[in-house]
Structure 1
């Protein structure tokens, strides 16, 4: 049903009707005799001319585009989207420019089904475009995409003869320059974002300098690989680097685990030592102050102070003695009175 409706639409289209009209007119001219009605031939030719003029007098501009109109090759202006009319029979020439559509160019690879002739490289140029020399004199295969828009239709059509091919040459030149300023490790691993940013800036600067009427939106790197003969060796180097990074990370993990613990123990011992130091200093200062106070009182009354100190000392010492033996100073001897056998089992 869909194919049938499409065929009916194609039969009802103005182009099909015009072709049928022209075909029937030519058949009428061929079938007429040389001596036939001359006015009929003129009328038929005029009718055909009117049909061709009417068919070529209108055009439609898509919603994402504008139309650039030229009259006898002279630029007239831009026409917005919609249905418009122009002078027929090639007097006005209309060129549709997709100003709101994001276009792209691919380097080193091709997307199937692309309609833009400049979007994908020619098959013989794909390998050549990707081969680049880095700053450390190594080789790399770089594939990338440039996404852009047409910002100025006049410059895009008339300032540069082939803007698509020119943009392709500019993009390749800039990418080779940027890649040539970096090492192969930077190009393949950590330097991708810097390469994209720097390439975008330089491409836009050249596009503005050449008045190409193009605004570059994005430069995106796709696949970056070393050449095939050194692919295996390069993979081994990458594996060794990854193993090195793994060991470094494990060592840092152990370091972060042990060092803070040791730091904490060190700080704890330092604080304990400071506390013990302050304790000893305070105790010593307290003993000194106590001794000085006793010395001042002793100087005031030596006998009284001496007796008080003696009594206080005895009061502190005597409770700790289990057995107490008091001997009179006037006693002549202690052996007859002291039961040594009974006291041998006791400890003072």
Structure 2
């Protein structure tokens, strides 16, 4: 049976292999990549060292430098009373159904109950404050948001919460939550607080729905009546103004005509006082000039004529009038 050749063995080789492995691991762990929407927070010996921008970066290996990547450009969302499966934010919703039900059950200012589902959207403004000022910033934000929402709902009646007060609740919650986050120095910027679903307790939901439908019908009727009013009243006003303008124009016209006739009469009277006979003759001739052309065919005889037969044109077929 042939024997295998013996490999050369040296103690230096055993020392060389770990050194090479350590060097490879050190080089491999010395570089990291910060994505476009992230910021890299570098800890050196457990303390804050620097915040790195996106790109390929270097750090001291072997646990001396530790990097926490924080999504500073990503719009984060937390949901209350409901949950969207598959969300990228681990603190977006609570998986336990009982906790979701407890979150959305609130008491209004008139001691009624309401089921409120809402969402908070926010950015990480300062990654250093976000990581080090609060032990669990996401959970703290959830608790702060729930506290602020319960305070806003508790200051209003159930009708206001369910119907017309939603925007006011969102605006008030946004301001108060941002003030609370700034007070805790959490490094967050609250972008929006949005009410998703606001309902009365399930045993009385049908009654509230009927009330809401009645209120909507009332508002619809009011809006329709206002539309009719806004359409008819300006039209009537315009018609009234047009008639007033026509009457005023007619009055001005009649006054001007009367003044003109009066001025004409005064002028004639002045001429008449200067030469009565000449004025009478001129007025007579002017009047006859206007009257005779519209009288048709006429034969005018002298009052001393005995008959008009010699003047009669017997060949004419045109009837004569006297």
Same-fold status (TM-score > 0.5): yes
| Counterpart residue number, 1:66 | 40
Asked if 1:99 is matched to 2:94, the reply is no
Q: What is the CA deviation profile of residues 282-338 of structure 1, one whole-angstrom value per residue up to 9, with x for unaligned ones?
A: 221111111111211121123333454455556666766999999979xxxxxxxxx
Structure 1: give runs of 5+ residues left out of the alignment.
Answer: 1-39, 330-347
User: Equivalences for 1:127-166 in 2 at 5 Å?
Assistant: 127-135=101-109, 138-166=112-140
SS at match of 1:112: coil
Q: What is the CA deviation profile of residues 184-221 of structure 1, one whole-angstrom value per residue up to 9, with x for unaligned ones?
A: 45544555444434433332222121111223233232
**C-alpha separation in 2, matches of 1:83 and 1:174:** 40
Q: What is the CA deviation profile of residues 236-280 of structure 1, one whole-angstrom value per residue up to 9, with x for unaligned ones?
A: 122122222332333234334433443333233223222221221
| Counterpart residue number, 2:307 | none
By how many angstroms is 1:114 displaced?
4.9
Q: Give the paired residue count.
A: 283
Q: Is the Cα contact below 8 Å between 1:61 and 1:96 reproduced in 2?
A: no
Match of 1:213 among 162, 187, 194: 187
Q: Relative to 1, partners in 2 of residues 1:324 and 1:237: Cα closer, same or farther, differing over 3 Å? A: farther
**C-alpha separation in 1, matches of 2:104 and 2:288:** 104
| Counterpart residue number, 2:198 | 224
**C-alpha separation in 2, matches of 1:77 and 1:186:** 49
**C-alpha separation in 1, matches of 2:231 and 2:176:** 47
Q: Is the Cα contact below 8 Å between 1:108 and 1:144 reproduced in 2?
A: yes
Match of 1:244 among 193, 212, 218: 218
Structure 2: give runs of 5+ residues left out of the alignment.
Answer: 1-10, 305-321
SS at match of 1:142: strand
Between 266-275 and 109-118, the greater mean CA deviation after superposition: 109-118
By how many angstroms is 1:170 displaced?
1.2
SS at match of 1:69: strand
Q: Relative to 1, partners in 2 of residues 1:137 and 1:289: Cα closer, same or farther, differing over 3 Å? A: farther
**C-alpha separation in 2, matches of 1:254 and 1:79:** 64
Q: Relative to 1, partners in 2 of residues 1:302 and 1:150: Cα closer, same or farther, differing over 3 Å? A: closer
Asked if 1:172 is matched to 2:143, the reply is no
Between 168-177 and 153-162, the greater mean CA deviation after superposition: 153-162
Q: What is the CA deviation profile of residues 26-81 of structure 1, one whole-angstrom value per residue up to 9, with x for unaligned ones?
A: xxxxxxxxxxxxxx9xx99xx7xx87x958x937455235244252x544445666
SS at match of 1:290: helix
**C-alpha separation in 2, matches of 1:298 and 1:145:** 100
Match of 1:118 among 88, 91, 97: 91
User: Equivalences for 1:1-348 in 2 at 5 Å?
Assistant: 58=29, 60=32, 62-63=34-35, 64-71=38-45, 73-78=46-51, 82=56, 86=60, 88=62, 92=64, 94=66, 96-100=68-72, 101-114=74-87, 118-121=91-94, 122-135=96-109, 138-182=112-156, 184=158, 186-310=160-284, 312=286
Cα RMSD after superposing both structures: 4.2
Alignment TM-score, normalising by the size of structure 2: 0.69
Query: Which of the two has greater helix per residue?
Result: 1
By how many angstroms is 1:167 displaced?
1.0
Q: Is the Cα contact below 8 Å between 1:171 and 1:203 reproduced in 2?
A: yes
